[in-house]
Amino acid sequence: MTTTTKDPKPATQLAAILARETRKVSAFRAARDAESLIALGGRAARVAEQRCNGIPRWNAAARQMLAEWTEQDESRADRAVSRIEAQAREILAPYGATRIKASGDPRGYVLRFNLKSGASNGMSDGWGV
């Protein structure tokens, strides 16, 4: 039998951490919650990337596709980030997580939160997805 030194996938690692955070939640629910948080992190990353790069649109004056960002885009992005943070708060409530925040920088973890145990998966405090 061979042993592996490869790190587990992010959702697997987060599920193990969440399962240790509280006894109120089953391991199966912790795994489902971890997958949901990873998906929310992906959505937050896409919004942050669009904010940085704009959205490609046909510009008739320039007769080409240009990356643009409008007030409507900003408003839509703000609403999306608010929904993502609210969903993450709901998922993380049984685990006692705090400081649940989606940052605007698409480099690295966009959705971050602090766990009661102080577990961290990065160079800064807290857990990022």
42-76 pLDDT, tens digit each:
999 999 999 999 999 998 998 998 899 999 999 99
Q: Check pLDDT > 70 for residue 4.
A: no
Buried b (16+ CB within 10 A) or exposed e, 80-112: bbeebbebbeebbeebebeebebbeebeebbbb
pTM score? 0.89
Torsion angle (degrees, nearest 10) of CA 56, 82, 41, 45: 20
